[in-house]
Structure 1
Amino acid sequence: MLGFVPDHSLVLSTFTRQGGPFLGPTIRVDLPDDNDDRRELVDQLGNVMARNDVVSATIVVVCGGNADPPDLPHSELIDMVTEKFAHLDVRLTHAAWVPSIELGGIWWCYQCDDCAGRIHDPGTSTIAAVHAVEGMVTFASRDEMRDVLAPDDEDRVAHRAQLLAAYAEGMDEDASSLRAEVTATVEFAASHPALPELDDEQIARLSIALSNQQVRDHCLTLCVTGNPSGAERLWTVLTRTVPTPERAVPATLLGLCAYLRGSAVLASMALEIALDSEPDLRLALLLRTCIDRGTPPDEVLGMVETSAGMASNDSREEV
């Protein structure tokens, strides 16, 4: 569910009352080092539980160390989380510690000294099968996931920057033709399981298209209806291949797609790139705030649909 194998992490799976019981947010956070950090983390988790109407949760702590029940690593943190959840009427169904996520590894329970077991093959779970059918990749680590968004070769990116400057001076196409080009590329990406391969001229033209406000508004629709998987593939390619600061827009759109399908980790990575490229980009700042507050994806979807609808009406009025 995270999209990568966690390490030195607290992983929290939740169930909500919505459609009840329904799998809610799956959260991964770095393990805190001191009491102040623990309290801050517990408060943040509590806010997410409240905003998402969570009724029960399961915790897995992944970090090195030795098992000597009841003295497991980070027991104090688990005690603080348990107390917080009880105050919120959230049932902690299980809390376990494991040194690493690997086949045959032994896990131990924080709640019962005699409770332990071995990890089954994560690659054969039902969720893993669903992800495989949907073309989703599970990375070996968070760093490996981040590498997917690493920029292209510096010389190639510089060449695209030159193309962008040249196209920007001579391009006078209207928004409708630019929207059509982006939509066609998304549809092509949706029909192919791998990331689309685009030449430098295509990348430059698509980047110019995304600089148009009407096209960006149209892209919000592409993220939530029609071919969101194709849109996410295209935004991923453009995030890697477009120069700064233009890469901020596809990175933001990638963050939106990822968050709406439940991948807050990838969304956060994409938004970090977007805000590094353009710190004042309003949509990126809004999405960053939503993630930090634990806003449910359904609420974000509603905001995006409203915004896209308003933009569509404005566009028709202009025509």
Structure 2
Amino acid sequence: MIPDPEDVLARRVELLDDLHRRTEPAAEDHPAVPGQPSPRRSRFDLLHEQVLRAGDRTRPLTDREIADLAFALTNPLVRDACLSFAIGEHADHAEALWTELVRTSPAPERAEPAALLAAYAYLRGELDLAAAAIGHAERTCPGHRLGELLGTALRNDIAPEALPEMARQSRELIAQL
């Protein structure tokens, strides 16, 4: 997983910086307009939409799409809710999206799709890919919570069969978004 060239990543950093500047963290839980989804739920919906498209998409993501998706994953509840795709019918599509975002997202946002990729690989028993993705998450963002959790599981030889429960529990997070 070789990241995109630095000049390309720099363009995306500018887009992400703008998204971070314009977002009020305290407003994440509450919709701006009653009856509308919360910003956190909107982030998840964007990711869900792109997961569904990932299997049929024939063009690469644009810089804006990459920035929007990488930004959406910066909310830990949204990222954790995305674990639910790992045990669904679109798991392959989600994994393809995480793989693309690992390559195309700048640091530190790259750690989020790397951790998701690690979880998906771990669930399938592809421990070498899981280890590589965990290492990528930890190098990109030292102390990354999900990356550390998966790294601990891998180092302690926790069987991949123990992880589907984590993915099932992440489905419950969707209702909380």
Q: Which residue of structure 2 aligns with residue 163 of structure 1?
A: 15
Residue among 101, 111, 129 paired with 1:238: 101
CA contact (8 A) 1:260 1:301 kept: yes
- Counterpart code for 1:179: F
Q: 1:147-190 CA distances to partner (integer Å, 9 max, x unpaired)? A: xx111011000110011001222256711221111011111113
Q: Give the structure with the higher percent helix.
A: 2
Partner of 2:167: 304
Q: Which runs of 5+ in 1 are unaligned?
A: 1-148
Cα distance, 1:191 vs. partner? 3.4
Q: What displacement does 1:303 show?
A: 2.9
1:266 to 129, 143, 167: 129
User: Where does residue 279 of structure 1 map in the other structure?
Assistant: 142
Q: Per-residue CA shift, 1:164-223, capped at 9, x if unaligned?
A: 00122225671122111101111111335x7x6101000000111001233112211122
CA contact (8 A) 2:81 2:171 kept: no
Structure 2 equivalent of residue 150 of structure 1? 2
Match in the other structure for 1:112: none
Matching residue's letter, 1:201: R
Q: Decide whether the 8 Å contact of 2:86 with 2:167 is kept in 1.
A: no
d(CA) in 1 for partners of 2:74, 2:49: 17
Q: What displacement does 1:280 show?
A: 1.1
Matches within 5 A, 1:192-203: 197-203=60-66
Give the structure, 1 or 2, with the largest relative contact order (CA under 8 Å, sep 6 or more): 2
Assess if the C-alpha contact under 8 Å between 1:186 and 1:231 holds in 2. yes
Name the CA distance, whole Å, in 2 between partners of 1:260 and 1:267.
9
TM-score (norm 1): 0.48
Tell me the amino acid that sits aligned with residue 215 of structure 1: V
Q: Whole-Å Cα distance in 2 between the matches of residues 227 and 310 of structure 1?
A: 18
Answer whether contact 2:110 2:140 (CA < 8 A) is retained: yes
Give the structure with the larger strand fraction.
1
Q: Aligned-pair distance for 1:310?
A: 4.9
Of all paired residues, the percent bearing the same amino acid is 35
Inter-partner Cα distance in structure 2 for 1:260 and 1:174: 29
- Alpha-carbon distance in 1 for matches of 2:173, 2:15: 29
**Structure 2 counterpart of 1:183, one-letter code:** H
Cα distance in 2 for residues equivalent to 1:312 and 1:198:
25
Contact preservation (8 Å) 1:152, 1:240: yes
Normalising by structure 2, we get a TM-score of: 0.84
1:110 is aligned to none
SS class of match (1:255): helix
Say whether residues 1:176 and 2:41 are aligned partners. Answer: yes
Change beyond 3 A, Cα 1:237–1:309 = closer
Quote the residue 1:69 is aligned against.
Answer: none
The one-letter amino acid of 1:248's match is A
Matched letter for residue 45 of structure 2: A
Q: Shift of the alpha carbon at 1:268?
A: 0.7
The answer to whether the 8 Å contact 2:111/2:137 transfers is: yes
Name the Cα RMSD after superposition: 1.9
- Find out whether 1:185 has 2:11 as its counterpart: no
2:31 maps to which residue?
none
Secondary structure in 2 matching 1:215: helix
Q: Alignment partner of 1:273: what SS?
A: helix
Q: Residues 176 and 311 of structure 1: is their aligned pair in 2 closer, same or farther, counting only changes over 3 Å?
A: closer
Match of 1:251 among 92, 95, 114: 114
